[in-house]
Amino acid sequence: MPKGKVRTPISDIILESFLGRIRILIAEDSSLFITVLSELIESEPDMELVGLATNGAKAVELCEQLKPDLILMDIHMPVMDGLTATGRIMATCPTPILVVTADPHRGGVDLSFKALSAGALDLVSKPGEVPMREAERFGFLRKMRLLAGIPVVRHVRDRLPDSSASKATNAAKIEDNRPARKTPAPTKPKESPPILGIVASTGGPRALGEFLGALPADFGAPILLVQHITRGFAVHLTRWLDANSQVNVVLAKNGQRIRPGTVYVAPTELQMELSSTGALKVYDGPAVAGYRPSGDVLLRSLARHAAPRAIGLVLSGMGQDGAFGMAALYRSGAVTLVQDEASSVVYSMPSAALERGVVSEIVELPHMATRVQEIVGTFFENTQSKSHHARK
């Protein structure tokens, strides 16, 4: 399709297909962003634009008809929004979906992150400048190529999977606008709680939603989280996870003291560590292996200052971040876990740790919360047992 062919107004159209390229469907109602995304795709010899839909209903129809390799999905569209369309597509014609949104938290309801729980693979911001900055363009294309090759599975519902024990609580706290209803579990006297460090990337938000949503409010350990996510989305990820879990989820701050029952999310473009004093160190440090925040930085700090009472967990993600940190934890006697391959959107990060032989257990995502609670409980049991024998 020649550049400049898309103009206002635009109707839903099907474009000519060429073999051997990544076949992309755009679902977007803004003529400006249709032009920007179309020209981005057309500039790449390994990509082709096979269809345009200006509402979610048309996107579902074209997905079934065209069987694209990737869908670029807007959220706020007429007739049917992107969240509903994502749920329909994942139930009828499962396809990799990249959510492209201008405002991930508009209207007080974070539809973009709900779309991830419905089966979308990842999200990015709409281009902030036209033409796109080179770094933004490169990152956008890289993510598109990655997601287009990921096998996806059918989803029969488009909401966050909740454990039966937490459904009533989650519904209640959304209805009452979430007043101060979460009380972190107090640290037991004379005991240092274990600390859980999590690293995640592509597919991580959905896995985190399920895992954290199954934890009780009195979970006995602080959780330090590095999630690779597009710049500007960490705050919205934090709000979404907090609204869908009984534990507290907050954006980490430098010097913050950590408490059980609270998840501390590393801010975008900053590194996060556990300091020797037990407080968080959040700072503008250099990227490590291309990542800022870096899972390796976080987990290595846990190995230095919290082992062996630390737990490392690597969830779904592309690349190798976290593998060296897991090795440091494993050598220090800490417990190291990775998500199972079947439930991971991308298995590169868990696989990288496994290949180094530094993983204590592979855990299926539906059982992750239960297993982590068992491990945390064992720390306290061992501490109490040692204290009892010491008194004798």
71 and 59 Cβ atoms separated by less than 8 Å: yes
Calpha distance 322→337 (Å, rounded): 11
Cβ count within 10 A of residue 168: 10
Asked about 321 being catalytic, the answer comes back as yes
Rounded CA-CA distance 287/291 in Å is 5
Residues in the chain: 392
Distances in whole angstroms, Cα of residue 96 to Cα of each of 100, 125, 152, 196, 325:
13, 17, 6, 31, 30
Residue of 345, 166, 344 whose CA lies nearest to 243: 166
Alpha-carbon Rg of the chain, whole angstroms? Answer: 22
Query: Which one-letter DSSP state was computed for residue 263?
Result: E
Q: Would you tell me how many other CB atoms lie within 10 Å of the CB of residue 313? A: 28
Residue 132 DSSP label: P
Cβ count near 296 (within 10 Å)? 22
**Strand, coil or helix: 295:** helix
d(CA 236, CA 48): 32
Tokens for 339, please give them.
Answer: 């998500």
3-state SS assignment for residue 181: coil
Helix/strand/coil for 42? helix
Is residue 236 part of the annotated active site? The answer reads: no
Query: For this structure, is 388 an active site residue?
Result: no
How far apart CA 164 and CA 168 sit, in angstroms, is 8
Which of 110, 155, 228, 351 is labelled catalytic?
228
Give phi and psi for 273, each to the nearest 5.
Answer: -135, 165
CA dihedral (33, 34, 39, 40) positive or negative: positive
Q: How far apart are CA 134 and CA 139, in angstroms?
A: 9
Catalytic residue among 117, 125, 201, 316: 201
Give the active site residue among 321, 343, 344, 351. 321
**Amino acid identity of 245?**
S
Tokens of 61: 């129809």
Q: Which residues are catalytic?
A: 201, 228, 321
